[in-house]
Chain A
């Protein structure tokens, strides 16, 4: 990290400015602006229907916003508005530099091909044509996400929900992305599996120095994973700040409600 000059370090990886998405006359998200730097984990929290997923879809290039810009520091064009790129370039950037972990692994995996092929697919998309090398990379990544490597050729449907989610994580990290989007990555899992997956994610993110935008309605996930938080309500960002700051000393009435609503045992 010392080798990186301060100026580059300070340059944002992702800059979102005045992002608004209307569904007809209903607002998905309104006037959202923030910056994300390398290695930073940003949590987006809020209740159902507050615009978290709309925001994530807009900034991950999957849903063009009604107004506002999303700029990403691409390796080929520098800091560029992603919706200003032409479609092949945008798709290539999404393929090469991003990952997207869906809430439901079925949305993020190809259910008809084996877990190993799912993990290796990003490598093939990047032009890797050597089976042996891809195979060993896949085995290595299955180990990293703590899956039994003997099950490499099993179909995703034969894995449990938590294992499918691990496959999805491996698939989204194997090609060395710089930014990973996660939409409720632990949403459908039971609590003990959630905890293990979170632990694993936290470790991987730290080791790889990834920038992550993680959408969640679970305060515990936010507390564990995120460096910074964005609290959303009715499409607006109502509060931002360091995770501990927001969760320990919420300023906005809604954030206070959110934090106080967490069940204690």
Chain B
């Protein structure tokens, strides 16, 4: 990279946040990595987007990003959704980094709702935007009580929600934010990712960072940590499956979104991970509706 004449100014308050804030967030990240799954409180700042649009993830990214990073941002698995595009532009502007849609090329991937299909590798950081970091909150409203439960490893209560689900639906029906045990110690809510992605968190080579801006919590799963999805002995954990393959690329093992095509009931299933799908099509994989107009939309001109 060529040194620019304004190099010193460029690094002052680099990446939107001031240096002291980034320092504070980095300290919280280190603590979170040292205690996998533990929710570290941090002084969340006002960000130029509303709570719920990824303030936690943006602050994490701002604290760890450097000019040599390659940044990718996905929302619901797709690179081309409004939120993902604007957050990506934000960092291209304030951090002066290269951006990409290529999962393998990115060093920092900010995500909400999905873990990319392509396995992550050492050196990559996956940043999650988390709305509610406390998995027990739906059952226990008192923060003092949930903190005690985490401290003393009293996680029986979480099974009440699974019990309710089996009693009502005959199976564990929750599909997103499926509770997990990290390193057999801390109960963790894996942000609103589908349970399809839960197995990808265990023994991952990349660093997984979770940031909740409104709730002011950071937690993390360091590389090669066990992450177990909770279940009953007689109702084991299962991920979602589909009868269809991806209509565009024919993938059989990816997470599929259902797209309604018209008001007579026609629909198609496509990979939610847009980069994964585009890559497969470029490699010559063809699904049953490969020439559909959606296929053209997904290859965004860069």
Contact = CB atoms under 8 A, between A and B. Distances in A.
Interface of A: 87-88, 91-92, 95, 110, 112-114, 116-117, 120-121, 124-127, 129-132, 134-135, 152-153
Interface of B: 138-139, 148, 151-152, 154, 156-157, 159-164, 166-168, 232-235
A116 B160 CA distance: 10
A157 to B, nearest CB: 15
B139 A124 contact: no
Contacts of A124: 156-157, 159-160, 163
Contacts of B167: 114, 116-117, 135, 152-153
A135 B138 CA distance: 22
Which of B138, B159, B164, B232 counts the most chain A CB atoms within 10 A? B159
Contact of B164 (A88, A95, A114, A127): A114
A92 B153 CA distance: 11
Given A114-B164, A126-B156, A130-B234, 6 more contacts: A91-B154, A116-B163, A117-B167, A120-B160, A121-B157, A153-B167
A118 to B, nearest CB: 8
12 contacts: A91-B152, A92-B152, A95-B154, A112-B138, A113-B139, A120-B160, A124-B157, A125-B157, A129-B233, A130-B232, A131-B233, A153-B168
A134 B166 CA distance: 12
Contacts of A88: 151-152
A156 B151 CA distance: 30
Contacts of A112: 138-139
Contacts of A152: 167
Given A116-B167, A126-B156, A129-B159, A110 B234 contact: no
B44 to A, nearest CB: 28
Given A121-B157, A125-B157, A131 B235 contact: yes
Q: Which label, helix, strand, loop or mixed, suits the secondary structure of the A interface?
A: helix
A121 B160 contact: yes
B234 A132 contact: yes
Given A91-B154, A110-B139, A117 B163 contact: yes
Contacts of B168: 114, 153
A113 B164 contact: yes
A150 to B, nearest CB: 13
Which of A87, A110, A129 counts the most chain B CB atoms within 10 A? A129
A131 B232 contact: yes
B132 to A, nearest CB: 15
B157 A117 contact: no
A117 B232 contact: no
Contacts of A116: 163, 167
A134 B163 contact: yes
A126 B167 CA distance: 20
Contacts of B156: 121, 124-127
A125 B159 CA distance: 9
Contact of B152 (A87, A113, A117, A135): A87
A59 B138 CA distance: 30
Contacts of B162: 131
A134 to B, nearest CB: 7
Contacts of B164: 113-114, 117
Given A87-B148, A88-B152, A113 B160 contact: yes
Contact of B166 (A95, A127, A131): A131
Contacts of A127: 156
Given A121-B156, A124-B157, A125-B157, A131 B148 contact: no
